[in-house]
Amino acid sequence: MENIIELDNVTKRFGGITALNKASLKVTRGEVVGLIGDNGAGKSTFFNMISGVIPPSEGNVYYKDKDITGFESYKLPHMGIAKCFQITNVFPKLTVRENVWASIFSCSHKSKIDLFKSMNDFETIDKETLKIINDVGLSHKIDDKAEELSHGQQRMLEMAITLGAKPDLLLLD
C-alpha cells in the first residue's frame, strides 16, 4: 500500500525550545489517523510542517514518496494536500457558494496554459459546488455571506472549501 504521507524523524526548534523531537509517522492511502495530545504538545507544529507553513529543523516530510520538506505552503494544495486550520479561514465578504466555487476553480487548473475554461468546465464547477455545499449541510445558507454565518457554520464552510480542493490528504488541525 502506498504511503500518502511520511514524516521521518522531524524535529522543530524555536530558538532554544524544542517543540517537536524526532517525530515519525507513516500514513497509507485510505487510512484515517488521529493525533491527540495536551495543549502545547506539538500537534499544530506537526501539521504545520506537513502543510509547509513551517519547515522542520531536522528530518524529512514525504508525500507520495516525494520529499516535500520545506516546500512552500501555497504549492501543496495543487499537489493534493489540503488543511483546515484551527482558526476559521474563509472569505467573509463572499457567499457560501462563491467561497466553495473559488476553491474548486483555483484547484482545477492543470497547468499555466489551462487558464482558459470552456462553459462546460464552469457548469461542472457549479455542480461540484452545489454537491459539496449540500454534503456539509449548508445548502440553506448557499447565498448568505460567510460573515453572516455562525461560527459553527463558518467551520462547515471551511470544510467545504477544503473539500473543493479535492485533496488526496486532508489535514484537520
User: pLDDT tens digits for 74-128?
Assistant: 888 888 898 887 778 899 999 999 999 999 988 776 555 555 655 568 889 999 9
**pTM for the whole thing?**
0.80
**DSSP β-ladder status, 81-84 and 169-172:** parallel
For residue 32, the 8-state DSSP code is -
For residue 133, the 8-state DSSP code is H
Q: What is the pLDDT of residues 117-160, one digit of tens each?
A: 555 688 899 999 999 999 999 999 999 999 999 999 999 999 99
**CA separation, residue 77 to residues 30, 50, 73, 163 (Å):** 18, 12, 8, 11
68: cell is: 516535500
